[in-house]
Amino acid sequence: MSWLSRLTNAFRPDRLDDELEEELRFHLEARAEEAVHRGANPQDAAVEARLRLGNPLHTRETSRDAKLLPWLESLLRDARFGFRMLRKDSAVTAAALASLALAIGASLAAFALVDALLLRPLPVYQPERLVQLSTWDERDPHENYTFNYPLFERCRQATRGQLELFGMSNQSPEAVVFAKSGGVQEKVRLQYASGNALTSLGIRPALGRLLNPSDDLRPGAHPVAVLSYDFWMRRFGGDPAVLGRWFSNGAKQFQIVGVTAKGFTGIEPGKDTDLWVPTMMWSVPEDLSDAGSYWFIVLGRLKPGVTAEAVRPILQGVYANFLREQAAGFRADESRAVVDSFLHGSLHVLPAPNGPSRLRETFARPLWILAAVAGLLLLIACSNLANLFTARALAREREMALRISIGAGRGRLLRQLLVEGLLLAGAASVLAAMFAAVAAPSLVGLLSTSDSPAYLDLHPDWRMLTFLLLACTAATLLFALLPALRASGVSPHEALKSGGKQSVRSSALRSMLAAQIAFSFVVLFVAGLLLLSFRQLTHVNLGFRKSGVVLIGVETTDPNPFAKIYYTPAARLTALQLVDRVREVPGVRNAAMCEFGFFSGSLMGENVRIPGRAPGDGGIYGVPVSPGFLETTGVRLLEGRTLAPSDFTPTPSVVLVNQTFARRYYPGEDPVGKRFAFAERDRDLPQDIIGVVQDVRLQSVRQPAPPTVFVPLRGLNGTLAVRVDGDPWKVVPLVRRQINAFGHSVRAGDVTLQSALVDDDLVRERLLALLAGFFALAALALAGVGLYGVLSYSVVRRTKEIGIRMALGARQSSVVRLVVREIAAAAGIGIAAGLVLGRLLARPVESLLYEVKAGDFWSLALPLTLLLAAAALAAFRPAYRAAKVEPAVALRNE
């Protein structure tokens, strides 16, 4: 018989039994009929047939084993029996199923995010051979991943034949207008790439061609673009006629020449790129020859047989020569220490199989913490179920004793109980997959900012399936193995003698309960740290008003903005006129121009020279603004005066400074009226301090205000800050219309709320706080259910003992103490162990905290109070039931 038939018969044993019965009857009848033909009477013939056939039961069982897989049939029988046992206690099974599904689902969702963002290699050819270049500056020690084009060209020439280098800009949202779209602007995620970038990655075209090295020969010479497959399908419906179609990006026109193969969405996990254009089409052509303009990253593919260690010395030599050339242009009075630290810069060759990702840099540690806490939640659920299975095993001691008495081996009983656990874990895994399918995309949404939606490929694959199977197996072993070992090792004599109602052996329950409380305390402790930290961050004084302020980009339509718009006296006066126009819009309370808004991601660094200080010791940030900026953004003027239109001379020389600037450079003095200078490469620009403003956090809620000066606006391009009354989105269309009608080659750009930029800065902290709250509630619920189940079981098993104590005069309070005492001891051990584990786990979390320490009072008091409150609620009903036990009823039932 084929293995397929045997496998099929294992799933239909009743039908097989009928077939065997019919076959056995046929053989008996055939042999009896043969005997009758030989002259025997029918009764003797039937007896002879049975004797010749042998033992019918043995014959049938032998034939049955030959027609199916006995081990599989036995396993299926155990599964059917286990299902009936789980269904018998449907309420308890449902609670156990829900808790385990929640824990496995949280773990699966965490793994999906970790895998998609941190572990999974890029979908390109041989991703393990990809590398990324970075530089290290001794003056500001950190990895710098951006390069300038002249240095990139030198590195590419020096390593040609060993390393195929290519550059790609950071992906940015761009406004484009496609042909035949009626002039409607669309936001696309665009990336500038070297001509050899896509081919070096091993990407093939699905339509047309990709970028090639000839597209990188001269600036602006090849206005071509390549679409991603997903964008092609989403925007153009997969229309092949997209080839040759044009679109505009500002004043530039691009022609679509190809579509990448399906599955490639870019090199940066977390961001989905829509189209690629050559680096030679960069919006600022001067950057292609400017050694001081760092605007793209450099990656490369190692040639076969070449290692990163082999090419690094070559690249380091190129970088050292480049630094020496740059140092030759320093000012003559630059300190020797600054020059030496600059020359000690190094170039690194880093493995990049997963591609570069700013989202990964931001969320790597939070996601690992999420995975660890999800694992702890799974341990809590498993310890909860282990208590349940242990209690059920104690209640089934008589059943196990009877099975052993009639010949069942310990392995047979062990398999039966493990199959029950596997059924529960399997059903929970199905629910967990459904939970993760909803939770994981929702978590990706929490990684997004207002202007940069996150994209991660979360489709189910073999990696997620493997993790789910491992989680299911591990959970089964964690909560079912020890109870199964204990139940299968029961003594038949003792169990049958006591009628299956032995006194509870609570040592196993206490140990598992202590473990559950320890894990719960750890989750609550870590969650409390993250929630307290988030609360601290949301109460930081930013130094400006974040609500009611709208930021509107002001862009130029001039094809060469640097020729007419930037850094001219006329542009400054035009900017003041635009601000006056916007102030006239109904609903606008105030307006001002700034070169970049708070928390916008842009900063203007300046070196200052303070009289009486050594040159080069003053690094500060400058914020170019127009009159009315302080009133619009809510920044308080502490002393002196604010900027006035009369300060916007052809060469402005007045500034406002913040408190940090005043404390650092003029300690104990009044800075108003003092003079310092901006240190340019070829000259110093004297500045007079006319006022002091409060400290303002420029880029991050976490970072204290740096030394900052507010200087007169330099040009027309920038950001318009508008303070409005009521709903800002009702005023925005009116303001945009006013800007577009203003003329002077300007138009309204992107619109965002100041509050949205501040909220974007707290995306990571908000994600951690939300997940911490969810895990804390889940841990409390699981701990409460586990404590309630153990206490309820303890009261039921000790009803006779409690009845005797009550009959002998014990008070209700002493009975309650009796019930709770052992559990309280386990809780104390669990909390102590949880505190130790929590302090260990808090170490990797501390770098994410803000003004919160693991040893603070509230850091310890919050989880302890919540856990004790959950324990008290869980213990109330079992203790009340124990106190109300009637001695006569309890003893009569026994």
689-716 pLDDT, tens digit per residue, is 999 999 999 888 988 888 999 999 887 8
Band of pLDDT at residue 333, cut at 50, 70 and 90: low
* Poorest-pLDDT segment among 81-95, 153-167, 244-258, 730-744: 81-95
pLDDT at 406: 64
Residue 22: other Cβ atoms inside 10 A: 9
Pairing of strands 718-724, 549-556: antiparallel
State whether the Cα torsion 140-146-148-153 is positive or negative.
positive
Q: What is the structure's pLDDT at 825?
A: 79
Is residue 530 included in any domain, yes or no?
yes
Choose from 64-68, 451-455, 539-543 the range with maximum mean pLDDT: 539-543
Per-residue pLDDT averaged across 40-47, rounded?
68
Nearest alpha carbon to residue 374 among 774, 81, 24: 774
pLDDT in tens, 477-506: 888 887 777 766 666 555 555 544 444 445
Instruction: Read off the pTM.
Output: 0.81
- 257 and 346 inside one domain: yes
**Residue 120 lies inside a defined structural domain of this protein:** no
In a shared domain, residues 771 and 828: yes
497 and 378 co-located in one domain: yes
Specify the residue for token string 């190129």: 318
The domain tally of the chain equals 4
Q: How many helices (H) and strands (E) does the chain have?
A: 28, 24
Averaged pLDDT, 180-194: 87
Closest CA to 391 of 801, 889, 785: 785
End-to-end CA distance of the chain: 56
pLDDT for 616 equals 47
Output the pLDDT for position 504.
Answer: 42
Distance of CA 497 to the CA centre of its chain: 57
- Nearest one of 804, 820, 792, 807 to 894, comparing CA atoms: 804
CA distance 196 to 165: 8
Rg of the chain taking only CA atoms, in angstroms = 38
Question: What is the pLDDT at residue 565?
Answer: 45
Lowest mean pLDDT among 360-369, 474-483, 521-530, 875-884: 875-884
Clarify whether residues 287 and 389 are in a common domain. no
> Which whole number is the average pLDDT over 776-793?
82
Residue (of 587, 593, 709) closest to 645 by Cα position: 593
Asked whether residue 539 carries a pLDDT value surpassing 80, the answer given is: yes
Residues 728 and 824 in one domain: no
In this structure, are 575 and 492 located in the same domain?
Answer: no
Distance CA 211, CA 202 (A): 12
Tell me if 467 is assigned to some domain.
Answer: yes
pLDDT the model gives residue 124: 92
Statement to judge: residues 572 and 652 lie in one domain: yes
Residue 377 lies in a domain: yes
In this structure, the answer to whether residues 438 and 319 fall within a common structural domain is no
**Is 159 part of a structural domain of the chain?**
yes
- Closest to 792 (Cα-Cα) out of 819, 752, 754, 758: 819
Distance CA 32, CA 43 (A): 9
Same domain for 336 and 378: no
Q: How many residues does the chain have?
A: 894
Helix (H) or strand (E) holding 22: helix 13-37
Q: Are 464 and 115 in contact (CB under 8 A)?
A: yes
The answer to whether position 757 is within a domain reads no
Q: Are residues 369 and 479 in the same domain?
A: yes
Mean pLDDT of the chain: 82
Band of pLDDT at residue 819, cut at 50, 70 and 90: confident
Dihedral, 401, 406, 408, 409 alpha carbons, nearest 10: 80
Q: Is residue 249 part of a domain?
A: yes
Domain boundary among 68, 94, 111: 68
Task: Give SS3 for 383.
Answer: helix
DSSP letters, 151-209, are HHHHHHHHTTTTEEEEEEEPPEEEEEEETTSTT--EEEEEEEE-TTHHHHTT--EEEE-
Q: Which of 353, 370, 386 is the last residue of a domain?
A: 353
Task: Map 69-123 to HEC letters.
Answer: CHHHHHHHHHHHHHHHHHHHCHHHHHHHHHHHHHHHHHHHHHHHHHHHHHHCCCC
Distance, in Å, from the CA atom of 626 to the CA atom of 716, rounded to the nearest integer, reads 10
**Residue closest to 6 by CA, chosen among 76, 54, 81:** 76
Q: Confidence class of residue 125 from pLDDT cuts 50, 70 and 90?
A: very high
- Long-range pairs for 650-655 at CB < 8 Å and ≥24 separation? 650/569, 652/711, 652/712, 653/685, 653/686, 653/687, 653/688, 654/687, 654/688, 654/689, 654/690, 654/712, 655/687, 655/688, 655/689, 655/690, 655/709, 655/710, 655/711
- Assess whether 131 and 167 both reside in one domain: yes
Last residue of a domain, which of 694, 714, 744? 744
Clarify whether residues 792 and 817 are in a common domain: yes
pLDDT digits (tens, 9 = 90+) for 632-662: 999 999 999 999 888 887 777 899 999 999 9
Residue 86, in any domain of the structure: no
Sign of CA dihedral 449, 453, 456, 458: positive
Listing DSSP states for 437-475 in one string gives HHHHHHHHHHT--SS---B------HHHHHHHHHHHHHH
Enclosing domain of residue 502: 362-539+766-892
